[in-house]
Amino acid sequence: MTTRVWDYLVEYEAERLDLLDAVETVFNSGQLVLGASLRGFESEFAAYHGIEHCVGVDNGTNAIKLGLQALGIGPGDEVITVSNTAAPTVVAIDGTGATPVFVDVREDDFLMDTGQVEAAITERTKCLLPVHLYGQCVDMAPLKELAAKHGLSILEDCAQAHGARQNGKVAGSTGDAAAFSFYPTKVLGAYGDGGAVITSAESVDRRLRRLRYYGMDERYYTLETPAHNSRLDEVQAEILRRKLKRLDTYTAGRRAVAQRYVDGLGDTGLKLPRTVPGNEHVYYVYVVRHPRRDEILERLKAYDIQLNISYPWPVHTMTGFAHLGYETGSLPVTEKLATEIFSLPMYPALTADLQDKVVHAVREVLSAL
């Protein structure tokens, strides 16, 4: 049997009755869009983060895009972020008409190198967009200082960091707003697409609610600025509402899997994830590193283990962003990591037996190099 890098079927079997009841609850409610389930989830998700407002949207890409627009970001502006991220982070910036500006990441933890940010700020810079990558937070203190010094907004990309914490604060609770994805693989995943933006600013909340509803106030009145339909549907909202109650259990399960990898692979030549002091890692993916990555992956094919690379092509090297003008070598750490990193299977329901299979296979391959 193939050992998958991610699998929801064991979790579904354990939660099946509650999830089906969630669907029944919505279907029996008499309202399938913008109803009680969405309002309940928004209220509870905001409360989990200690934030006043949450606006559910249709996916994580639009969560970033609408979050930026609600913060006033648009054509002619620059947004500083990283290239070692999923392409949707940058696609969303591009979708507002703003220009993404990249800084490199740190070699030991793969997170934004905040020491490079100030040099990248220009008179066009309007927003900093840290990506809380793989399950832990970027160092937010220096970004807050830079934002205050230069009059910038901060939008946190929390698509990979549900429930992560930094110095006790939940990821997404530090910036002006934070965007989340609820794609099924996420730490808090829906059974389809979904996203949300949280903020403590009432004005940002009002703009977000208009932006997700064509630019109107959720009624067919005259709109101020044309937008699109970006609503989170009731079924996914109710499922997420049920799963939110189990979020801390999910993260505990992921940490247990991560510790088993440390126990089984800590004495090999594989570089395992480093948790930054002050961070509480939730291990959305378990990204390891080795200079002979491609050879390792080729040899592991014989063991029927599914692995992944996050990410093999830095965004600044993609054809679609060639117009930004980043040459090879411009982000050396990001480019080097792209040739060395890969992900081991990671999800809360990964059994010890399946994980032992992975550890055994990796150890055998490493010993034969």
The neighbouring-strand residues paired with 213 are 229
Q: Is the dihedral of CA 79, 203, 49, 243 positive or negative?
A: negative
Treating both helix axes as pointing N-terminal to C-terminal, what angle do 202-211 and 60-70 enclose, rounded to 10 degrees?
130
Please give the helix or strand (H or E) that residue 146 lies within, else none.
Answer: helix 140-150
Query: What one-character DSSP code corresponds to residue 112?
Result: B
Active site residue 144: no
Residue 357: strand, helix, or coil? helix
CA 173 to chain centre: 15
Residue 275: strand, helix, or coil? coil
Phi first, then psi, for residue 257 (nearest 5°) are -65, -45
Torsion angle in degrees (nearest 10) through CA of 230, 103, 323, 89: -20
| Per annotation, catalytic residue among 144, 186, 301, 336 | 186
Determine the Cα–Cα distance for residues 150 and 30; give it in Å rounded to an integer: 49
Q: What are the residue numbers of the active site? A: 186
